[in-house]
Amino acid sequence: MKVLYFYDEGTGIFDHSELVTVDDEFTLPENATFVAPVNGSYEPIHINDDKTAWIGTPKEEWMAAHPAPAPTPTPEQTAQATLMLQMAQTKTTQDKFNAQIMLQLASMKSDTTTVGSTSTGTATTPAE
């Protein structure tokens, strides 16, 4: 058994391959060859004029014709990103609130300290 490689008769572009039994009665079709395409060739691959080798598209040409698609996030990734943004916004709001409370507490302490220092300092003793 051998692998037979078919190509389009008009363009010479690789079409498909088939596993065939080669015996005394086997006749090679006009649009086929036993010559295997080289691994790593870029499509379209076509057979040369004398049907002895396959010629692939140069990598640079193939890459230019097939640019990598821009990655798009999955719905789960979009939901996770939205939640992370909400958490960051909530943390910012909480940090601002905490800072305001700390300022108010500091202000209240300074007011208490000021009030305590202005007192006359006279102590009264409980009556007996």
Give residue limits of the domains in the chain: 2-65, 70-110
Q: DSSP labels for 33-55?
A: ESPPPPTTPEEEEEE-TTSS-EE
On whether the CB atoms of residues 36 and 5 are closer than 8 A, the answer is yes
Beta bridge partners of 7: 14
pLDDT for res 127: 59
Token look-up 């036993």 returns 34
Give per-residue pLDDT as tens, 80-115.
999 999 999 999 999 999 999 999 998 888 877 765
d(CA 36, CA 49): 15
Tell me what the mean pLDDT of segment 47-54 comes to. Answer: 90
